[in-house]
Amino acid sequence: MTRFQAQLPVYYWEEPETSDAESAPSLRVRSCTSGVTVVTPQLPSGLAGEARETALRALLDDFVGRTPLAVRWYYTPMMLGFSRHLSAQCTVYDCMDELANFRFAPPELIPLEQELMALADVVFTGGYSLYEAKRDRHANIHPMPSSVDRLHFAAARGDLPEPADQQPLPRPRFGFYGVVDERMDLALLAAVADARPDWSFAILGPVVKIDPADLPQRPNIFYLGGKDYADLPGYVAGWDVALMPFAINEATRFISPTKTPEYLAAGRPVVSTPIVDVVRHYGGLAGVRIAATAEAFVAECEAALALAADTHGNWRTEVDAALADLSWDNVASRMQALVDAAIGAKATRAPVVPIARPRNTHYDYLVVGAGFAGSVMAERLAAGSGKRVLVIDRRPHIAGNAYDHLDDAGILIHKYGPHIFHTNSADVFDYLSRFTEWRPYEHRVLAQVGEKRVPMPINRTTLNELYGLSLSTDAEAEAFLASRAEPVETIRTSADVVVSKIGRELYETFFQCYTRKQWGMDPSELDKSVTARVPTRTNTDDRYFTDSFQAMPADGYTKMFAAMLDHPNIDVMLGVDFADVREQVSFGKLVFTGPIDEYFDHRYGKLPYRSLSFRHETLDQAQFQEVGTVNYPAESYPYTRISEYKHMTGQVAERTSITYEYPCADGDPYYPIPRPENQALFKRYEALAIGTPEVVFVGRLATYRYYNMDQVVGQALATYRRLAEQESAGHDVAASVAAE
Ligand code: FAD
Ligand code: UDP
């Protein structure tokens, strides 16, 4: 822990060791070169239960003295019994495993974990699956998947002296290191060893909780015992392929094995059983082979051997790219920031977002709107250029249309309909990643057509299910669509773009009525860009989006916005309209993210926007529908779609909350309506904006563009960069409508 290590002593309290029955309880204290002091209680044998806890508590109190701790950091709830009385500025629960699922887990583990969850200011989980399992147990919980000391393991890619006990093993060699316990699939290991007697299997690590006599004994399996971390690269250097023959059981459901990136950093291809987090984080790499059965495991070991021979192959480049950003220092600094924030929040009891009356002060910028456009601009101006910024919003909350909150049933819902984050822009994703962790999520949508629910966007499965076909290749699906498509000379409208690709029947089934409901007009009256948002596929990809980054903010959008606006130079006022404060606040420049026509008092008439009304419901059932959103394209339904949030957020709860969307003409302006005449009207307002250089117009409403969230973030970042460049070039900031 960089800062803590640098400034404060760090003690690591180990599990007790047993000394002889006569000796008094004592501590063994060792200083390590890392700067950490390891403290190991020595307890007389036979000490158990309450007496054991009392002895540990006395040792701990003696050791800590009266100095209050900065942080108490629990890596197991089992330590709580003798330490719960200690005071500390911050309590961290670093949850590394679903320990309760382990063999011989003590019964008090579950209540102790509950107590620790209630006490902890911050909770970390050693992987995403564990995070998903625990995320509704704590408000400040963050996934911290395993990282790797790349340099340490990369040594295995070069020549290292072979440890003596591994030298006799014939090649090819397959290796495993780690604790050998009920998490290991010993039957699988035996079956693979039997299938290939010419291969050697090196198993390194202590045997725990299982009788060594139960380990499969084969001439080609070699149990070499526990090794020091420092010696592991030397062993791995002598393997061809690394193995993770984990059993798929309760004890492995939530593991996120640290050895995966270590094996890869050591340059070895990996063969693993389908552990959820391994498949999730590494399953896409050619160098990580997944196999569920002994037969498949042997086949994947063969494939991995072939890769191992190709040390300069693409698979290595791909592995190195995947590992490039992994470092324990990164994990440590993310953890440290969260611990610092928790300490800060406790010390000041300040709300997460500083909400202030406008001070008797001058602001460099007044930002109207606390949605993506306004919040990104405010953050950049404050943190990037040191400006003093006041952000206002007429709504009683931050986050604009992306606002989410817990409903009465404790389910995280989106007040203004489902918001799914997706982007191809690494810049946008990296920028937002400063303010949030992410939960990987790929949105899937089904369309209700008669009695059937079929994938939307239309793909090969949709066609097969709808027409009882068995199209099995892209080419067959393409030919099917081509036979139905109607040629359109110039593609201008939202009808043209669909009919020319998939023909009238599919257009009517999926697009025409949906669009009439959504927009209050026929697709032939809308610009082609509207329905072109939804592609048609000839493969079986059933994701709604294909962007390279698809994820939801791990703790929701509102938390992400709170982090963005949490800057000493930013004040936020909610529930106030620009009209109410424009004369009262002293400010230099204005960033306006509301409707552009409203800013100019509708001088040329109103720009049309489409609105929605939302019906939010909570149901007494765990799940309502099989995917995040079901679309209802038929006219007989007054709504366009129903979305169920738990799919998106991963929240686990007994009840579920859903939202129906009913399009309407009047209400909050949600959608600019892409039509040539509306664009022409907008251009007139844009001309006014260009003539108003002291105001910057950014965002979906201020630039009248049907933009997704990522596009608005990209637009705001580009606008800020332009402002900063102009300022550094010494120009008066001649702002205008944001660049596209
Ligand atoms: P907004 O979020 O609208 O923020 C503007 C803010 O300005 C508002 O909070 C408003 O109250 C405030 N304001 C306006 N005028 C004034 C004033 N005079 N005084 C004070 N405050 C004012 N995008 C995606 O990427 N993925 C999705 O899945 C997705 N789903 C969507 C679903 C729905 C139903 C809707 C409507 C939009 C969806 N979007 C989605 C688009 C996304 O909402 C927008 O791209 C994004 O929110 C635009 O951000 P913004 O800051 O420009 O505008
Ligand atoms: N659309 C449709 N049928 C569908 C889905 C979308 O006709 O099942 C059309 C409709 O006009 C919609 C547009 O495609 O407004 C864009 O869809 P998208 O899902 O991108 O809309 P958003 O999420 O922005 O409301």
Give 38-94 pLDDT, tens digit per residue.
999 999 998 888 899 999 999 999 988 766 688 999 999 999 999 988 888 899 999
Q: What HEC string does 421-449 produce?
A: CEECCHHHHHHHHCCCCEEECCCEEEEEE
Determine the average pLDDT of the residues in 355-377. 83
* DSSP conformation class of 485: -
With bands split at pLDDT 50, 70 and 90, how would you rate the model's confidence at 734? Answer: very low
pLDDT at 345: 67
pLDDT at 346: 62
Check if 591 has its Cβ closer than 6 Å to any atom of ligand 1: no
**In a mutational test of the pocket of ligand 2, which residue from 511, 534, 544, 643 has the highest number of ligand atoms less than 8 Å from its CB?**
534
How large a percentage of the chain has pLDDT more than 70? 95
Instruction: Write the single-letter amino acid at 175.
Output: G
Structure tokens at 570: 């930013």
Determine the average pLDDT of the residues in 425-433. 97
CA of 68 to the centre of ligand 1 (A): 46
Check if 551 has its Cβ closer than 6 Å to any atom of ligand 1: no
With bands split at pLDDT 50, 70 and 90, how would you rate the model's confidence at 656? Answer: very high
Q: Give CA–CA dist 22/16, Å, rounded.
A: 16
Q: Give CA–CA dist 593/705, Å, rounded.
A: 12
CA-CA-CA-CA torsion sign (169, 174, 180, 182): negative
Cα 96 vs. chain centroid, distance in angstroms?
18
Cα-Cα end-to-end distance for the chain: 42
Instruction: Specify which of 141-145, 212-216, 573-577, 695-699 reaches the highest per-range mean pLDDT.
Output: 695-699
pLDDT at 736: 44
pLDDT of residue 729 exceeding 90? no
Q: Give CA–CA dist 496/736, Å, rounded.
A: 34
pLDDT of residue 374 exceeding 90? yes
What residues are paired with 586 via a beta bridge? 362
Where helices occur in 656-696 by DSSP H, the ranges are: 676-690
CA of 671 to the centre of ligand 1 (A): 9
pLDDT at 251: 86
Give 450-507 pLDDT, tens digit per residue: 999 999 999 999 999 999 999 999 999 999 999 999 999 999 999 999 999 999 999 9
Closest CA to 136 of 443, 409, 421, 336: 409
With bands split at pLDDT 50, 70 and 90, how would you rate the model's confidence at 330? Answer: confident
Determine the average pLDDT of the residues in 378-402. 95
Determine the average pLDDT of the residues in 282-305. 97
pLDDT of residue 172 exceeding 80? yes
pLDDT of residue 347 exceeding 80? no
H-helix or E-strand spanning residue 100 = none
Q: Give CA–CA dist 446/629, Å, rounded.
A: 7
Determine the average pLDDT of the residues in 188-213. 96
- Give the orientation angle of helix 709-728 with respect to helix 426-433, to 10 degrees: 90
pLDDT of residue 6 exceeding 60? no
Instruction: Specify which of 343-357, 390-404, 510-524 reaches the highest per-range mean pLDDT.
Output: 510-524
Query: Which three-class secondary structure state does DSSP give residue 530?
Result: coil
Q: What angle is formed at CA 435 by the lines to CA 433 and CA 441, rounded to 5 degrees?
A: 50
pLDDT at 715: 98
Average pLDDT of the residues of the chain: 92
Check if 707 has its Cβ closer than 6 Å to any atom of ligand 1: yes
Query: Which three-class secondary structure state does DSSP give residue 514?
Result: helix
What ligand is nearest to the CA atom of residue 519?
Answer: 2
What ligand is nearest to the CA atom of residue 712?
Answer: 1
pLDDT at 352: 36
Q: Give CA–CA dist 387/381, Å, rounded.
A: 5
Return the half-sphere exposure (C-beta side, CA atoms, 13 A cut-off) of residue 120. Answer: 28
Give 521-556 pLDDT, tens digit per residue: 999 999 999 999 999 999 999 999 999 999 999 999
Q: DSSP for 110-169?
A: HHHHHHHHHH-SEEEESSHHHHHHHGGG-SSEEE------HHHHHGGGS--PPPGGGTTP
With bands split at pLDDT 50, 70 and 90, how would you rate the model's confidence at 337? Answer: confident
